[in-house]
Structure 1
């Protein structure tokens, strides 16, 4: 006997980490079985509007990380643990408050039976006008007759969203005005100057009137044509008859040439076609006429790049406490209370033990929770982590509030590998991730995540031409921009292995071999011509060698130990005062329950290193991979002797988009850093 039908699904479950690392963060397009959804800004989630983010248990404590973020987010009060967004039995919420918010996007969808093509809002209106309940419309669907006979019963048909959307270099997204593409394209191409060069663009006429009798668009696909020329839009009247132009020709066009379309932001705003993610209409800004939206496939990688920042937890000078407790101590101090009285009052009213020494230290430090001088530089931020791990403060460090171990590490004794200073196994580590912004079309360097966007020195806030308007800018996940008081964050626990290189040996290696500098010079020259370039950054031979060595180890762990590379990640420490790499995995991934650390406790990791170096001497693409020439290989020619057969790893595991790699700097028999180790193994 068939039981009652379950309720229509209104929710889509997403893993917590994806809500912070891009796949399901604000501004991202999430592909689901019910259609594509655009995740709304953080302040519009029910989790936020119902003030779940204010609960003490939902604050993530990392004082060092928070202080760094406050350099750009001056009003930031706390990092907020994101909701689990968990479902039971596929459709019931496990926590009614822990909900994100999204909307169907793109909003243009067609019925594969009737071929009618219109916005989801119009489909919903048609649904309810036929006496159907609005809450049964999800996922979007139409009503079509079962047969061609008049009065035939209707059936429900899932709608198909169109595959293309408009995105801007400033990070906004909009629907393509399909009615304008069909009915009001300008007759000639328009020359525009973009950052990649000149383009003959197709533009739309937003002032042209619709033809008399126009009712809807028909969307039809001809499979015999495998490109955009096989997708047609046809103007129809109320009776479903094709409309004709003044010459008696059907008003019909294909999608051929769609990628040459450019739509000015000023036009989208003026005609109400630019909704922000929160559903309100986009506001006009100076320079809008120079910002051009362009079409992309909604599932392409270029539609969303997360500007993610991470912090390895290291104990700060003062033990971490909640924001509310620190604010309470500060307020009491400003009112004239002594440290002894503050400690006594907190114990009496909050039932929390706070020592007088801690309160005194807070007051003496002017409530700055870290001892370091920070700026927006990722290099300086990582320097503190590197220094802490290498200055022999080994042991177990617990969170003072929860008592949970957050950093447990010791050095591996008896290291026998020349070129490496020490190896540390981190039995427990905590990594905090936050994504304050994102970009579209191209990724932004990590350094820019905490810096203001500038169009030009003379006109920092508005572009004066199309070339400036095509500059990639970050788009904040908060409707308050860099004035946000709260940022969603993700806290993950795991384990890792930290390898410290001998800096004296690295310097000696670079000084003694001219070929080493030449390899780095070739990569630097290609880097200065690439989209990734950052003013002032110099790619050194040591940086490339350490990064390549990290990739070789990641791949060897998969070959020899069975850990999939997708479950492992790297964190590079390369700079004037650093030379190391952390290979780690977090909870929920293979190897995160002691398996990775165990490799470093019985001498096995040294053998893994030797085997990785030996394996790197043989690439199936050699000699082409070994001798790529000055043009290099990979994206932008940013790799030399490194390809997918020998050195590339999944993008989720690499910090540099699989760039700045060269096996020769590691294993070349004449100048490779580990050449003696390789020669001893042959």
Structure 2
């Protein structure tokens, strides 16, 4: 990460995947002595980024952000060859994700002065060889070392993604004021609670506790949102109609949620050459004539095409361009092509990053699963298209259903590229028997109605269409199964629960071709992918043992009978018999934020039920 403190300087390190999922544009990164904000796309040095080729995902991003988005780029990074002995003032050490100090209000750790950086009361201290020691100091004493100042840990935000410094002068004086007296922040206890934090104006001798800024009743005392977008260095040109900003704590989990679109690189071509062209499309799409294909070969860009002539490659490029509309037609439904490939593994093309292997369902499970497919090689590409604050985008069905005014932009102008990352790994795909699903749904109509009621009750207070985007009890079954199996496989596969993810393929017959499948997978940024520990457990004998244990484990929860008696309609939640003790997964693993879960749809719990899918 690179920040501007008198000059560009390195202040920390982030992994490429973190720049998308944890510390993306608009998020706050808490450093030892600083808090910094990741800046917008205009500040990124893209000359040090690498383009990622994934045509389906690019078209999907274009559906949301516009056709002008032309590239998926990795975060900028310095060459690995700069070495540890190079000059830290070289240009190579100025490459990174740009950040800026935020919040701008700081507190002196000694005298407790509360003031903005623009007051010039605080001096930056940059240590190029120790980025972790970069800090601001306050020369409030002539003796000893100047004390470090720390960020004021209170901010304000709104549902439209705007972020601003806490209005300290207005808060202390309970409204707009012309007083410019010095402010001080004191903590009266060791708990760190807002009720123990007091802000005082020395000129007016007025004080106010921070607890008065929090709570539903106190929010009406907060000022309206100014529409500030500090990551873009501007204010929203459309303004903001939020009557009152919401106070949040620095580092709060609801201060930033990424809006990410992801796709698996599945082969869609019918022959090896066409598949190779798909895999290298980021380069080959620039070929506008046969001579350019020859030029690419001359500079070593076509090493994988040694079996094919330039004319054959050019013909393949032309054929792909003629079928470009087919890719655009599936851009809004990224999972449909993946389902088609996984459900027909024997006809799928094999590539360097995709290889499937069909295995038999374990003994006793043939009536429930049509196919079990081991994905020895997988490639997933993710793109960051925006972010939200206060409300998680997982409250919505997908990124396509998120209202545009809730998705904060990544740049001041319409973007021509978006940050992306690619990971490689492995997985196990379960294709459920459609016949078994239909028979089970016939005897589960009451439970489906209960979940639909919970779905409506959850969406109504949020101003969403109560009946929209309900996928039925089919989705609850698939989702609950995925959670049970992930928790079980994590015990033995060598990967943590947070490293294993789910991808649910669910569609009712009324909405088109029915889908009922679950992909459980893990992936890593390494070019070689993962080590095969997950696929090894997919062999029939091992998988049968783990499925037995997974289903047996969810029969009883440590929180029973409270957990098994829970209904989603009782408290506005979107899960029934599910909790942290038996079913919930880390945020990185679950695609729906631990909603639409019920272990009672899998097996009988302490509550007597007659609709368990795996009743035998």
Question: For this structure pair, what is the TM-score category when the shorter chain's length is used for normalisation?
Answer: 0.7 to 0.9
Partner in structure 1 of residue 613 of structure 2: 673
Give the alignment of 1:95-494 within 5 angstroms.
95-96=92-93, 98-123=95-120, 125-127=121-123, 138-145=134-141, 152-183=142-173, 185=174, 204-205=175-176, 208-210=177-179, 214-223=180-189, 227-236=193-202, 243-244=203-204, 250-259=205-214, 260=219, 261-265=221-225, 268=226, 274=228, 276-279=230-233, 281-282=234-235, 284-285=237-238, 288=240, 290=242, 292-317=244-269, 318=274, 319-320=277-278, 321-323=280-282, 325-329=284-288, 332=289, 352=302, 355-364=310-319, 366=321, 368-369=323-324, 371-374=326-329, 377=332, 380-393=333-346, 397-398=350-351, 405-413=352-360, 415-416=362-363, 417=365, 418-445=367-394, 449-450=399-400, 453=403, 473-480=406-413, 483-494=414-425
Map Cα deviations across residues 539-570 of structure 1 (whole Å, 9 max, x no partner): 31111011001111111123455542112111
**Separation of aligned partners in 2, 1:134 and 1:119:** 22
**Separation of aligned partners in 2, 1:573 and 1:518:** 21
**Alpha-carbon distance, 1:154 to partner:** 4.0
**Separation of aligned partners in 2, 1:359 and 1:447:** 41
Listed as ranges, the gaps of 5+ residues in structure 1 are: 1-7, 146-151, 186-203, 237-242, 245-249, 333-338, 399-404, 455-471, 677-682
Matched residue of 2:109: which SS? coil
Pick the aligned partner of 2:52 from 46, 56, 60: 60
1:579 aligns with 2:516: yes
Q: 1:348 to 1:297 in 2, by over 3 A?
A: closer
**Alpha-carbon distance, 1:114 to partner:** 1.0
Partner in structure 2 of residue 42 of structure 1: 41
Whether contact under 8 Å (1:107, 1:161) holds in the other structure is yes
Q: Aligned residues, how many?
A: 570
**Separation of aligned partners in 2, 1:93 and 1:504:** 66
Map Cα deviations across residues 447-492 of structure 1 (whole Å, 9 max, x no partner): 56346846xxxxxxxxxxxxxxxxx611122332xx3111111010
Query: Which TM-score applies when normalising by structure 2?
Result: 0.84
**Separation of aligned partners in 2, 1:291 and 1:374:** 41
**Separation of aligned partners in 2, 1:118 and 1:254:** 17
**Alpha-carbon distance, 1:517 to partner:** 3.1
**Separation of aligned partners in 2, 1:653 and 1:406:** 22
**Alpha-carbon distance, 1:221 to partner:** 1.7
**Alpha-carbon distance, 1:375 to partner:** 5.9
Listed as ranges, the gaps of 5+ residues in structure 2 are: 1-7, 509-513
**Separation of aligned partners in 1, 2:546 and 2:458:** 32
Q: Please identify, of 317-326 and 26-35, the stretch whose mean Cα deviation from structure 2 is larger.
A: 317-326
Map Cα deviations across residues 402-456 of structure 1 (whole Å, 9 max, x no partner): xxx11011111354312111111111100001111001110225656346846xx
Map Cα deviations across residues 347-400 of structure 1 (whole Å, 9 max, x no partner): 5688746643443344355455473453664xx3201101111113456622xx
Whether contact under 8 Å (1:570, 1:584) holds in the other structure is yes
**Separation of aligned partners in 2, 1:93 and 1:69:** 37
Query: Which TM-score applies when normalising by structure 1?
Result: 0.76
**Separation of aligned partners in 2, 1:180 and 1:414:** 66
- Which structure: larger Rg? 1
**Separation of aligned partners in 2, 1:667 and 1:448:** 29
Q: 1:549 to 1:413 in 2, by over 3 A?
A: same
Q: 1:522 to 1:649 in 2, by over 3 A?
A: same
Pick the aligned partner of 1:641 from 566, 577, 584: 577
**Alpha-carbon distance, 1:160 to partner:** 1.9
Matched residue of 2:564: which SS? coil
Matched residue of 2:481: which SS? helix
Partner in structure 2 of residue 74 of structure 1: 67
**Alpha-carbon distance, 1:133 to partner:** 8.4
Matched residue of 2:245: which SS? strand
**Separation of aligned partners in 2, 1:102 and 1:110:** 20
Q: 1:126 to 1:347 in 2, by over 3 A?
A: closer
Whether contact under 8 Å (2:229, 2:236) holds in the other structure is no
